[in-house]
Amino acid sequence: MEVVTTYRILRKEVLAPTLNMFEIEAPLVTKKAKAGQFVILRIHEEGERIPLTIADFDREKGTITCVFQEVGKTTKELGALGEGDFIKDFVGPLGLPSHIEKYGRIACVGGGVGVAPVHPIARALKEAGNEVTGIIGARTKELLFWEDKMRAACSELRVITDDGSYARKGFVTDLLKEVIEEKGDIALCLAIGPLPMMRAVCGLTKQYNLKTFVSLNSIMVDGTGMCGCCRVSVGGETRFACVDGPEFDGHQVDFDEMARRSVIYKPKEQTALERYNSQGAHKCSCNCGGDS
C-alpha cells in the first residue's frame, strides 16, 4: 500500500489581506471528517505543527478546506504556498465532532476568521432539521468573507461590521441580543471567533440562560492528548481541547486562564517571525526551520 505523505493544495483563494483559503487534497482525512473537527499540519520536516479547524470538506473530490490568518512565521510560510504546492503532513480529523441533533431554533455566531469553522456546523445543524440563524461579523467590509456560503448554510443570515462599512454597525453580540429577544425560543447558541468575542457571547447568553457552545483553539502540539499544551479549565476541571473538545460549554470555560495561556509563546513567536522576515524566503537545508 502506498503511504501518502504529501498533500497537494488544489485551490487557493485570498479572502482578505493576510486571510487565505486552501482546498487541500487529503482523501483519507476527508472520508471521516465531520463538522467541528480540526487538522494539524506541518509544512515541512522541521516545521511547527499548526491546528486548523475544518471549514469545509468534499467527500467526492477528497478535499478539506481550511481558512487561516497569517499571523506568525509558520502561517506566513503557509500563506506563501500556492496552488500545486504540497504540505508535508496533514493529520486528522482530530477532536470530537460537533454534537448535531434537532434542538429547534439555533443561533450560530462567527466572528472574523471564526466564520470559517462555524460554516460546516451551521450547515449540519440545518440539515438535522433546525432553524439556524447565522450571525457573522468582521471589523470592516474587506475582512468579511463567506457571506454567500453562510447564507446557504443557514436558514437566515444577519451581518454586522464593527465600523459599519458594510451592513449593520456594531458587534456580533448586538445582533445576537436582538435575535434572542426577537425569536424568544432559541434553544442553543454556538459561537466561534476571537476569545474576547466568545467571552462576550457567553456573558450575554448567561443572562438568558441560553446553552452556548464555543470552539477553543488553544495552543496545540501533538493533538492527541499527550503533551498537555492545549489544557483548558472547564467547570473547574482540566480538559484537553484536542481530545475532549474543541467544543465546550461556554458558560463553564475559564476565559481568563485561556487568555493568559494564549500569550505564553508570544515573545518566541515574535522572534521567529522577525527572523523569518529578515531572512526572506529560500529553502534551508540546515534544520534551522528558516528558509535560507
117 scored as a contact of ligand NAD (CB under 6 A): yes
Residue 245 interacting with ligand NAD (CB under 6 A): no
Which CB sits closer to ligand NAD, 31 or 139? 139
* Residue nearer to ligand NAD on the CB measure, 234 or 290: 234
Q: Determine the interface stretch with ligand NAD among 77-85, 100-108, 110-118, 264-272 (rule: CB under 6 A).
A: 110-118
CA distances from 198 to 47, 62, 112, 167, 281 (A): 30, 32, 12, 21, 36
The reply to whether 154 sits near ligand FES by the rule CB under 6 A is no
Q: What is d(CA 123, CA 100) in angstroms, rounded to the nearest whole number? A: 10
Looking at residues 213 to 232 of the shown chain, list those that interact with ligand FES (rule: CB under 6 A): 220-223, 225-230
Give 24 or 66: the residue with its C-beta nearer to ligand NAD.
66
Q: What is the pairing mode between strands 38-42 and 50-53?
A: antiparallel
Cβ at position 43, least distance to ligand FES in Å: 18
SS (H, E, C) 111-152: EHHHHHHHHHHHHHHHHCCCEEEEEEEECCHHHCCCHHHHHH
**Closer Cβ to ligand FES, 10 or 227, answer by number:** 227
C-alpha distances out from residue 277 to 44, 65, 76, 80, Å: 18, 27, 9, 12
Q: Tell me whether residue 160 or residue 230 sits nearer to ligand FES (CB atom).
A: 230
Residue from 145, 171, 248, 276 in contact with ligand NAD (CB under 6 A): 171
DSSP string, 34-92: -TT-EEEEESSTTPPPEEEE--EEETTTTEEEEEEE--SHHHHHHHT--TT-EESEEEE
For residue 112, the partner it binds in ligand FES, ligand NAD, none, with Cβ less than 5 to 8 A by kind, is: ligand NAD
H or E element, residue 278: helix 266-279
Q: What's the chain's Rg over C-alpha atoms?
A: 19
State the Cα–Cα distance between residues 70 and 79, nearest whole angstrom. 7
Query: What residue has cell string 456546523?
Result: 121
CB closer to ligand NAD, 7 vs 145: 145
For residue 177, the SS3 value is helix
Per-residue binding letters, 175-214, with ligand NAD (x by CB under 6 A): -----------------xxx-xx--x--------------
Decide whether 22 or 171 has the Cβ nearer to ligand NAD: 171
Rounded to a whole number of angstroms, the minimum distance from the CB of residue 153 to ligand FES is 28
229 binds, among ligand FES, ligand NAD, none (CB under 5 to 8 A by kind): ligand FES
Site for ligand FES, rule CB under 6 A: 220-223, 225-230, 240, 242
